[in-house]
Structure 1
Amino acid sequence: MEQLLIILRAMGDPSRLRILLLVQGMELAVGEIAQVLQQSQPRVSRHLRILAEAGLIDRVREGAWVFVRLSATATAASVLALIHTLATQADGSEDLGAADRARLGQVRADRAAAVDAWFAAHAGEWEQERSLHTREAGVEQAILAALAGELGDLVDVGTGTGRMIELLGRQARTALGLDRNPEMLRLARNRIDASGLASARVQAGDMYALPLPAGACDSLLLHQVLHYADNPGAVIAEAARVLRPGGRLLVVDLLPHAREELRQERRHVRLGFADDAVLGWMREAGLTGEVAARLPGEDVDQLGVALWLGEKANA
C-alpha cells in the first residue's frame, strides 16, 4: 500500500507527468529536461528525485551531467500504459507530450547546429581528435581484427576524413562514407580519390536517419561517433535497421572517463561508454553483442578505447 501511494503521489504533478512522457522513449540529460519544461535545474532535480523514489525512472551520473531514463521495471511500464489508456478515454485525439517533444527537438537541433559549426571550423584538425586516446595504430589493428574477412557492402557512419574507408575499403565490395559536415566530406573525397578505391564514395547522411533502405549493408562502422550522440540507443537502432541478416555493426569509442572539459572544447555529449550500456543498446536493437577489444590508455593523459561488435541474426 505504501509503495502504491508513493507512485500515485509522484504522478500527481503535471511537471512529473511531462517528464515521464519525455523519457519514455529516450534517455535525456537533466539540462535538456529543464530547457523543455522551462524550469530551473534544482526544481527539475527535485521532481526527478520523487520519480526515482517511486521506481519510475533511473538516474545515471556521467561527469557533471546526469542522464535520466525510464525505469525498466514492470511498474514503470504499467504506469505509462495506464496514463495512455486514461488519456485516450478522456480525449482520443490528444497526443500527450507532443508539445514537449517538439520543444526537445528544437533544443537538440540548436545543439546539433553548434556541433556542426565546431566540425566546420576544425575539420582540418580532425586527426588531432585521435590523440586523445591510445595510439591510433593499435586501434586500427583491433578494428581490422574485429572485422576480419570480407565486409560486403560497408557503411562508415560519421566518416570524418575518410580514414576508415581507406583502411577497410579493400576488404569491401562497396564502401560508403556518411557525414553531416560538408567540409569533412570534402576531405574524405580527397582521401578516397588518392587511395584509388573505385568502389568507394561519400555522401551526406545523418546518423539518426541513414539515407539507406532496410537491409542495405553487410558491415557498418561507428568509429568515434557515438560520444557525439544525444541518443546513442537510437543511433545503434538505426544502424541495425540498415544491416542485412548476418550483418555486423562495430562500435569503436571511448571507455568511461572524467574529462569534463571535452564537452565544451570538443563538443562531446557522452564521456565514454560502459560495456553494459553499449551491449544493452545492441540487444534492444536486435543484435547479439560482445566486447571485441579493450585498449586502455598508455599514460594518464590518454583515454581508453573499446570495440563492441554486434551481429544481426540470420533470417
Structure 2
Amino acid sequence: MTAPRLSIHDRMVELADTTRCRLLAALERQELTVGELAMALQLPQSTVSRHLKILADQAWIASRAEGASRWYRRNPLLDADMLGLWELVRGAMADTPAALQDAARVEAVLASRRTVTQTFFATASAEWDALRADLFGVRADLTAAFALLSPDLVVGDLGCGTGSLTAALAPHVQHVHALDASPAMLESARVRLAAFDNVSVAEGALEALPLYHGVLDVAVLMLVLHHVADPVRALREVHRVLRPGGRVLIADMRPHAHERYREQMGHVWLGFSEPTLHEWLHEAGFVQPRYVPLPVDPQASGPALFSCTAVAMPRPVMVLS
C-alpha cells in the first residue's frame, strides 16, 4: 500500500515554523552541511539537525553523504502542492530583514569555500603539476580527453605495441583493432587488453593490414612509422582500411641526428619533416594534413615529437568503357 497523500493543511503545518522556512530558503540554490547552515542562520547545530530531520521525513529536502559530511538541499522533485505552497511562503518572506541577512551569510559561507581553494592554489602553484601527477598519474588530463571521441568510432591502433594506447581508447569508442607485427609485443598487449570486450588484437604489418576496406573511422600510428621500410606503401594501406572521410593520426619524431637509434632500436628513419610527410600523405590519397610540433618534455631524453592528422579522400571509382 502507498502512504496516503498529505493534505495541504498538513503541509502548511510543516512550514508553520520559521526556522524550517529559513532552512528551505538557504537550501534552495545550493547544497550546505549542517555546520554551514548553523553558521549561516546563526543557530545551534542541534537545532538545525532537529529541523532538518523533520523536513527530510516529509520530503522537503534531500541529502547525500560525502566522506564524513552530509550535504543537504531542497528536494528538486517537490509535488505540485508542495511547490505551490513553498512559492507562497518564500514570496512572503523574501524581502524580510531576516531573510536578507540569511542570504548574505549563505553567500559568505560559499565565499569561504572559495577562499580555501584559492589559498591552496596560491601556495601550491609551483608544486601543482608534481602533486597532481602523484595523485592522479602523469597524464590523467590526456586520458580524460579521450571522452571527447564519438562512442560510435571504430579505431585502428596500428603498431599497438603492448597496448597502452588501445587501453586508453577502448572505454570511449565502439571498437579498437589493435595490430602489431611483433608477436612478443602482442603477447603483452593481449594480457593488458583481456578485460575489454570491444578490442580485437591481431598480428599484422602496416604494409599489409589484416582488415577489410573502409572498416576504420580513425587510424592511429603512434611512434611506429619510423620503423616502416616503405612509409608511402604503409600510408596507402592505412588509406585502404579507412572509410572515405576517415582520419589518420601520426605521432612520431621530428628530424634528428641520433644515428645510434638505427642499430640500438631498429629505427629505419631519423624522424620526419613536415614537407616530407605532407608529400607522402598526398601520394597515399590523403588531404588536409596538419603537422603540429609537440611541446618538449624536459624529462625526456629522446628527440622532439610531432603530431600530424589528415583526411582520407574517397577512392576513385573505376569506370570500364
Tell me the TM-score normalised to structure 1 length.
0.51
- The 8 Å contact of residues 213 and 241 in structure 2, kept in 1 or not, is answered as yes
Q: Match of 1:192? A: 193
Task: Give yes or no for contact 1:139–1:295 (8 Å, CA) kept in 2.
Answer: no
Which one has a bigger Cα radius of gyration?
2
Q: Residue in 2 aligned with 1:311?
A: 311
SS, match of residue 184 in structure 1? helix
> Offset of 1:140 from its aligned partner?
8.7
- What pairs up with 1:154-233 in 2 under 5 angstroms? 154-193=155-194, 196-233=195-232
C-alpha contact (below 8 Å) 2:274/2:291 kept by paired residues? no
| 1:58-137 to 2 correspondences below 5 Å | none
Structure 2: 5+ residue runs without aligned partners? Answer: 1-136, 316-321
Assess if the C-alpha contact under 8 Å between 1:220 and 1:250 holds in 2.
yes
Identity percentage of aligned residues: 31
1:10-67 Cα distance to aligned partner (Å, 9 max, x none):
xxxxxxxxxxxxxxxxxxxxxxxxxxxxxxxxxxxxxxxxxxxxxxxxxxxxxxxxxx
Per the alignment, in what secondary structure is the counterpart of residue 174 of structure 2?
strand
> How far is the alpha carbon of 1:143 from its aligned partner?
11
Residues 1:165 and 1:301: Cα distance change in structure 2 (over 3 Å): closer
Distance apart, 1:291 and its partner CA = 2.6
* Secondary structure of the corresponding residue to residue 178 of structure 2: strand
Select the structure with the greater relative contact order (CA < 8 A; seq sep ≥ 6). 1
Considering only aligned residues, what root-mean-square deviation do their CA atoms show, in Å? 2.8
CA distance 1:313–1:142, change in 2 (3 Å): farther
Shift of 1:221: 0.7
Runs of 4+ displaced beyond 6 Å = none
Partner amino acid, structure 2, of 1:278: L
- Shift in CA distance, 151/263, structure 1 to aligned 2, threshold 3 Å: farther
Whole-Å separation in 2 of the counterparts to 1:140 and 1:267: 31
Task: Flag the 1:143–1:304 CA change in 2: closer, same or farther, 3 A.
Answer: farther
Partner of 1:234: 233
Q: How does 1:275-290 map to 2 (within 5 A)?
A: 275-290=274-289
What are structure 1's unaligned runs of at least 5 residues?
Answer: 1-135
TM superposition shift of 1:192: 0.7
Aligned residue identity for 1:221: V
Count, aligned residues: 178
TM-score (normalised: structure 2): 0.51
* 1:246-270: CA deviation from partner (whole Å, max 9, x where unpaired): 2111111011111111011111010
